[in-house]
Amino acid sequence: MQLLRLLVLRADAARRLGDEETATSALTKAAAIQLTAEERDSVHDDLVRLAELRS
């Protein structure tokens, strides 16, 4: 869960700085993380932000 949070933050910061390559890489890695239902509930806001950044 912590890795997901860190990757989403990294992608967000990279995108704000105009570094699309790093943002895309971090988003891809974050999206590939397998979470249980309980973990998804814990990181709901991060998953929402991940979806926003991917669109």
Q: What is the pLDDT of residues 3-53, one digit of tens each?
A: 999 999 999 999 999 999 999 999 999 999 999 999 999 999 999 999 999
Number of domains in the chain: 1
Contact 5, 43 (CB under 8 A): yes
Structural domain range at position 49: 2-54
Contact 12, 49 (CB under 8 A): yes
DSSP state of 32: T
- Written as six digits, the tokens of 13 are 């910061």
pTM above 0.95, yes or no: no
- Written as six digits, the tokens of 45 are 């806001």
- Written as six digits, the tokens of 30 are 């974050």
pLDDT of residue 2: 95
- Written as six digits, the tokens of 20 are 């699309």
